[in-house]
Amino acid sequence: MTTALQRCSWVGDDPLYLTYHDEEWGVPNGDSRALFEKMILEGFQSGLSWITILRKRDHFRRVFDNFEAEKIAHYGPQKIEALLADPGIIRNRLKIEATIDNARALLKLREKTTLGRFLWDFVDGKPIQNRITGRSDVMAQTPLSALISKSLRKEGFRFVGPTTVYAMMQAVGMVNDHTISCYRHEAVSKLLPDIR
């Protein structure tokens, strides 16, 4: 008889969610394109459940040119209208327009640094190791996520409030918020990001 793996309580039993939790969530990611994607998707997720975004992620990637900032920065009114008519994404004009603004902000940021270095510098390039025992221990935001949010807004990014930033930090492994009873906690705690 095999024992089921113990996971974070939020996972449930959806196969897509299980794969996301087991292979992606909390794994330190320093790739700037992947970080930009996560930032945008977390912005779209605001007010919704993450599984909703996860189910639409492949379509988001297709219609947003794989989150290549150079392409998104040039989206005009015709592309915006096409996106607003696309049921495969979250059709919210403010979030779509913010995505375009964020692509432009990212291109401007690149004149100084990469998004990976910008974000990971806040934690000195190493994930914060939290000791979460249950859902009640997980914070929606922290003073650090508020600082990063403020810094991103100063650089011209939108839909990057402290709660959205903290969700991104968890997802990309800037903080290890796997519960200590979760089988992924220890494995993830040994990883460092490849920052680029």
Cross-strand pairs, 67: none
Pick the catalytic residue from 20, 24, 155, 183.
20
- pLDDT in the model for residue 2: 44
Domain ranges of the chain: 15-189
Pick the catalytic residue from 37, 42, 75, 120.
42
Residue 50 is a catalytic residue: yes
List the structure tokens of 56.
């639409």
Mean pLDDT score, 131-143: 88
- pLDDT in the model for residue 3: 58
Pick the catalytic residue from 10, 50, 97, 155.
50
**pLDDT tens digits, residue range 78-107?**
999 999 999 999 999 999 999 999 999 999
Mean pLDDT score, 14-30: 97
Alpha-helical runs (H) found in the chain: 15-23, 32-45, 50-63, 69-72, 77-84, 93-109, 115-120, 143-154, 162-171, 183-189
Residue 168, CA distances (Å) to 43, 82, 121, 143 in order? 9, 27, 15, 15
Residue 20 is a catalytic residue: yes
Whether the pLDDT of residue 178 is over 80: the answer is: yes
Domain 15-189 superfamily per CATH: Hypothetical protein; domain 2 (1.10.340.30)
- pLDDT in the model for residue 1: 41
